[in-house]
């Protein structure tokens, strides 16, 4: 157990923390402290590269679900299907549901989201519209008696699907899915430092979307009212992968994609968030000869990871 530290030692430390400049995403700040018996000590605090993830717990999600099952849940959400998480603890439902939605960045879930649904409101799960809902395990028998159509029910405690449509593993483009799965399964080998795993998970999914839709700026044209418009046909058909073109045909009909493109069409200055930064890097590299498919995906992410480690 820690022994009580006198306020005379705590106050200088807190003052040095408060006076230190707030670091930019991915940057570090050093704070000096004095500990009895240890003398002066310098602490280095690092802010996540992507500030969106400061309160997102991907570790809990990957502890509950295997990579394969996680990608099937991810694919179902991309097509805006109905998904129900089941767990014994409120905290698990909350952490996992928020984490899985964070994986959708730069897209945003546009539908019903209830991290923990009270037992008295289980009827909401019969809604014909898309949703992501969390339900406590004792409610599962009652839930299974309801007339819910086309739903993916995920048992987070047992890492299994209670009910599924059966096509979840065939939704994503096969090469991109294989690359993303390899990245996630080998994340501990890629980044030995524990603090880097969350960034790697995020970077893997961001890279997935860059490979999927990163060419969209090339198909934005200015309309008569000064706004930009996506040339949808040329955008989809221009992708070199047939699997991606087939997936885009479905994905482009979702509200997530519509909201994403509407934001780009109305934003005249263009965004410079994490995704847009990766898209710019991707488009700059398109003129360079690179391997295709899985190897290109891994190469792009590998270069990004090296850059992160240098910062």
Helix (H) or strand (E) holding 40: strand 39-46
Specify whether 27 is located in the same domain as 119: no
Three-class DSSP category at 29:
strand
State whether 190 and 245 are in the same domain.
yes
Q: Are residues 181 and 287 in the same domain?
A: yes
Q: Give a yes or no: residue 53 inside a domain.
A: no
Short-list 136, 166, 165, CA closest to 149: 165
Backbone angles phi, psi at 152, to 5 degrees: -110, 110
Count how many domains the chain has.
3
213, part of any domain: yes
Helices (H), 5-151: 7-19, 58-64, 67-78, 90-102, 140-144
Residue 136, beta-bridge partner list: 87
* End position of a domain, from candidates 163, 184, 217: 163
Judge whether 2 lies within some domain: no
Residue 169 lies in a domain: no
Residues 303 and 184 in one domain: yes
Boundary residue ending a domain (163, 186, 220): 163
Residues 112 and 209 both lie in one domain: no
Within a domain: residue 303? yes
Give a yes or no: residue 168 inside a domain: no
Same domain, 157 and 268: no
Same domain membership, residue 286 and residue 255 = yes
- Identify whether residues 25 and 73 lie together within a single domain: no
Final residue in a domain of this structure, among 120, 140, 163: 163
Specify whether 128 is located in the same domain as 27.
no
Q: What is the DSSP string of 235-281?
A: HHHT-S-HHHHHHHHHHTTSHHHHHHHHHHHH-SS---SHHHHHHHH
Do 268 and 198 lie in one domain? The reply is yes
In a domain? residue 1:
no
Would 260 be classed as within a structural domain? yes
The domain of 17 spans 7-47
pTM, rounded to two decimals: 0.79
Question: In a structure prediction context, what are the per-residue pLDDT tens digits for the chain, which is 311 residues long?
Answer: 345 556 666 677 677 767 777 766 666 777 776 666 556 677 776 666 555 666 788 999 999 999 999 999 999 999 999 999 999 999 999 999 999 999 999 999 999 999 999 999 999 999 999 999 999 999 999 999 999 999 999 999 999 999 999 999 999 999 999 999 998 998 877 765 444 444 788 889 999 999 999 999 999 998 777 778 999 999 999 999 999 999 999 999 999 999 999 988 887 555 568 899 899 999 988 765 554 555 566 566 555 544 444 34
Both 27 and 110 in one domain: the answer is: no
Q: What is the DSSP secondary structure assignment for residue 287, as one 8-state letter?
A: T
pLDDT at 49: 58
């Amino acid at each position: 157990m820690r022994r009580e530290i006198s306020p005379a030692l705590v106050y200088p430390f807190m003052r040095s923390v408060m006076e230190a400049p707030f670091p930019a995403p991915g940057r570090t700040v050093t704070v000096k402290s004095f500990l009895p018996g240890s003398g002066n000590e310098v602490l280095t605090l690092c802010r996540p590269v992507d500030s969106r993830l400061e309160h997102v717990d991907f570790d809990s999600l990957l502890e509950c679900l295997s990579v394969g099952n996680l990608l099937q849940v991810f694919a179902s959400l991309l097509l805006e299907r109905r998904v129900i998480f089941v767990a014994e603890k409120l905290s698990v439902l909350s952490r996992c549901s928020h984490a899985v939605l964070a994986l959708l960045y730069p897209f945003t879930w546009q539908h019903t989201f209830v991290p923990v649904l009270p037992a008295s409101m289980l009827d909401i799960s019969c809604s014909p519209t898309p949703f992501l809902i969390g339900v406590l395990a004792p409610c599962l028998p009652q839930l299974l008696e309801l007339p819910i159509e086309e739903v993916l029910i995920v048992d987070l405690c047992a890492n299994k699907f209670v009910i599924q449509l059966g096509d979840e593993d065939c939704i994503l483009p096969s090469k991109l899915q294989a690359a993303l799965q390899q990245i996630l399964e080998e994340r501990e080998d890629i980044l030995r430092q524990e603090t880097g795993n969350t960034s790697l998970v995020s970077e893997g999914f961001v890279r997935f979307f860059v490979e999927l839709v990163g060419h969209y700026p090339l198909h934005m044209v200015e309309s008569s009212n000064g706004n930009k418009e996506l040339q949808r046909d040329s955008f989809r058909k221009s992708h070199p992968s047939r699997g991606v073109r087939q997936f885009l045909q479905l994905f482009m009909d979702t509200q997530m994609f519509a909201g994403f493109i509407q934001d780009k069409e109305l934003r005249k200055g263009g965004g410079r968030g994490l995704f847009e930064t990766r898209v710019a890097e991707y488009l700059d590299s398109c003129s360079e000869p690179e391997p295709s498919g899985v190897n290109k995906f891994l190469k792009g992410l590998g270069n990004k990871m090296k850059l992160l480690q240098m910062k």
